[in-house]
Structure 1
């Protein structure tokens, strides 16, 4: 199902865990009817326990709570941590549960990478922030720079429906259709002046939606493009579009990781620097903390915030969710914030620096560009499992070694194992 632009929304930018977590936990605890949470990573640290407490409080107040986590990102949750939630009525869904081989997680691809919260079908949150203490400044060297937005208005109904389509896999086809039909009639009152579009990426009907929105904005840009993204390794045509924008007189600025949490990914990004710098693209590496954000602005109104990196995993394999926003004030706020990061905590990469040691990197650069051309096709060969739900009884271990069985064909995501109240959940 294709989402449309929605008028009349209120959008608030939330920077890092210091702004994001208190607001999300407050909304969950004050919920009256329903809470849906989706995340890639959940750790049993101070942030994970705080989320657990908020979900338990909501469930004990009679609120329906659906909590979906990715198996790869939450592989080591303890039985006691899970049981505390499910005994309180939280419905816990595990996306793509797979057994480990010699302690190694095998489900590397087709991850549920999006981070979404919907409360009472009135408030939604979308961004790149997981539930882990490394999104807080007091994490020290491991701290991450990241972003999310709080949404109110008609766009919330679209966010709710996309979450519902994933969490309903446990129901029969007839029940799914009934719930989705009711959700289609869901509307939210106008709350502001922002125009917002929800953009998803899945493995069937929305394979390239997020990438297409980026490319459209780049092609239409007249003055400036500023992209701050954690993992920058887009396909060749994306790079070419940025170069063509500079040829039209558009100022293109990229903010990359200078203190990488995954050094090998940053090393791949740096292979692209010379190609971009030769067309006057400005490249900065942010050094205060590890950049985990997925945020961009174009000209004076266009903004995107979400979970999608600009790399092959996000563009070709993962389930992702971004919002595209037309809002001058929000654009200006993000522009001022990113300029502050550049001026105070970043260093600029020049062509001379990018060319150091260039001779030995030439073969790698050639391979990288070829890889960027063909990876979207290669990704189509990788398995796109049909989602399933598996119910685990309380006496069973949390991570069952039984293989999940394919369920009905749907939108190409991975299997989901569900833990309901009365199960080990």
Structure 2
């Protein structure tokens, strides 16, 4: 496939300056030049690059990882870090409790600590903090010797071997921002700061980019994604693993499509989190009616979080197009302003579409359906797990029939998807309502426990603040204390 049309002409200088100001303010990150960025597609390229960089590390290794699994690759990566720690290399690992809760309780990270590495966990449950399930550290970042960083949507797990995902290798001035992002997470996950926060930011390339390290409630990526949807003039191609765009973002995509922008969205058909895929399908119709083209990946899982606009701008990282990523999590993305890399991303997107099925409005006269190449073997999007019960078996058979029909036609009608999606949501809600009516304790007990934990956590926090204020007051010199009291009397 060829990329349609050339990149749009450059904006006049005043508009370029305004665009730069808008991008900087929306993302909270300045544009930095002189970087080198290498695109890494899928697990083999990314995992090999990680292991090679770790093997070559001489001074330090920093890892911030949402999910670090106790499987073949997870153990291989852990053992590589253990070897470097025993060799005297400074190793700091920060993992998310929710992403690694099994590994956390099974002492998966203990060998690293025994080897001399520093290990911290992001927001584990505690009496002071309650459950704290929201606000996860969803970043995927590895920095070796403070001169090379790897940023992606991939986690440290063999599960990604069969998934479609995208990552990158970064060198240059933005390494200082990468180390600063890790140091901020490290400080919030423990009682001490990162001992060395320096980085080798020597210019070594020609790529201009922004490193966007979002934290809960900053909405940096949400503002940037909305801005790019407004700035795109010819093309805006998106890949997302867990698409649940807000009404504001859906409207931005619809308006861009109505304005003649070629807007395409690639999402998974078979997802590891099935209910998100179900909700995503309920959002297709307004997008399709506005002219947005929607494609579902035919393989096991599409996990890439990427965007590319007009052959000039691209984004790669950990942020999904949903409220959890935009507003609640710590995420890390690289927004690239470089034509060769953006065009490379566009070429890859078109290649991905050859392994996807387009979703269309039946009878609506849409564009010609995406055709699978001759001899292409369609992988059925059936979750590889045991199916128990006749009802589950029937649902699975319907999915297979739908997939086979998509292979023959080259497209899939949105009505079929909407019917199953809305039926699943309706049955789930009705089942929950029935369970609540029959067994009210199912709701009352967990709710009471949650309120007890939350109330206890807030109480402990209040006592901690009171104790801190009392200690601070005890440390004030008498003169300062009396002066403060005198000021209070005058006020």
* Structure-2-length-normalised TM-score: 0.67
State which of 151, 158, 178 in structure 1 corresponds to 2:177.
158
1:68-83 equivalence runs, <5 A:
68-77=94-103, 79=106, 81-83=108-110
**Is it true that 1:148 corresponds to 2:161 in the alignment?**
no
* 8 Å CA contact 2:122, 2:189 repeated in 1: no
* 8 Å CA contact 2:120, 2:190 repeated in 1: no
Question: 1:171: Cα distance to partner?
Answer: 6.8
Q: Distance in 1 between matches of 2:415 and 2:187?
A: 52
Question: 1:356: Cα distance to partner?
Answer: 4.4
* 8 Å CA contact 1:42, 1:73 repeated in 2: yes
Q: Secondary structure at the match of 1:26?
A: helix
Question: 1:284: Cα distance to partner?
Answer: 0.6
1:244-259 equivalence runs, <5 A:
244-259=255-270
Cα shift readout 1:315-339 (whole Å, capped 9, x = no counterpart): 1211111110012121122211111
Task: Assess, with a 3 A threshold, how the Cα gap between structure 1 residues 148 and 132 changes in structure 2: closer, same or farther.
Answer: same
State which of 66, 69, 81 in structure 2 corresponds to 1:43.
69
Q: Distance in 2 between matches of 1:220 and 1:282?
A: 19
Q: Secondary structure at the match of 1:57?
A: helix
* 8 Å CA contact 2:164, 2:303 repeated in 1: yes
Q: Structure 1 stretches of 5 or more lacking a match?
A: 137-142, 366-381, 384-401, 410-425
Cα shift readout 1:125-168 (whole Å, capped 9, x = no counterpart): 111100111111xxxxxx32111110011011101111011213
Other-structure match for 1:305: 316
Question: 1:81: Cα distance to partner?
Answer: 3.3
State which of 131, 135, 139 in structure 1 corresponds to 2:160.
135
Other-structure match for 1:94: 121
* 8 Å CA contact 1:307, 1:321 repeated in 2: yes
Task: Assess, with a 3 A threshold, how the Cα gap between structure 1 residues 256 and 170 changes in structure 2: closer, same or farther.
Answer: closer
Q: Distance in 1 between matches of 2:241 and 2:150?
A: 20
1:193-212 equivalence runs, <5 A:
193-203=206-216, 207-212=218-223
Q: Structure 2 stretches of 5 or more lacking a match?
A: 1-26, 363-412, 427-449, 452-456, 466-491
Q: Distance in 1 between matches of 2:155 and 2:189?
A: 25
Q: Distance in 1 between matches of 2:232 and 2:252?
A: 11
Question: 1:113: Cα distance to partner?
Answer: 0.7
Other-structure match for 2:415: 355
Q: Distance in 2 between matches of 1:239 and 1:170?
A: 35
Other-structure match for 1:273: 284
Question: 1:107: Cα distance to partner?
Answer: 4.7
Q: Secondary structure at the match of 2:229?
A: helix
Q: Secondary structure at the match of 2:211?
A: strand
Cα shift readout 1:86-138 (whole Å, capped 9, x = no counterpart): 111111111111169xxxx95532111110111111000111100111111xx
Question: 1:260: Cα distance to partner?
Answer: 1.7
Cα shift readout 1:274-303 (whole Å, capped 9, x = no counterpart): 100111101111112211110110001101
Please state which structure has a larger fraction of its residues in helix.
2
State which of 243, 246, 255 in structure 2 corresponds to 1:235.
246
CA-atom RMSD, angstroms? 3.1
Where do 4+ consecutive residues of structure 1 move more than 3 Å? 78-81, 105-108, 169-172, 355-362, 405-409
* Structure-1-length-normalised TM-score: 0.77
* 8 Å CA contact 1:227, 1:295 repeated in 2: yes
Please state which structure has a larger fraction of its residues in strand.
1
State which of 49, 52, 63 in structure 1 corresponds to 2:78.
52
Task: Assess, with a 3 A threshold, how the Cα gap between structure 1 residues 43 and 406 changes in structure 2: closer, same or farther.
Answer: farther
**Is it true that 1:119 corresponds to 2:152 in the alignment?**
no
Q: Secondary structure at the match of 1:145?
A: coil
Bigger mean CA offset, 297-306 vs 106-115: 106-115
Q: Distance in 2 between matches of 1:162 and 1:190?
A: 19
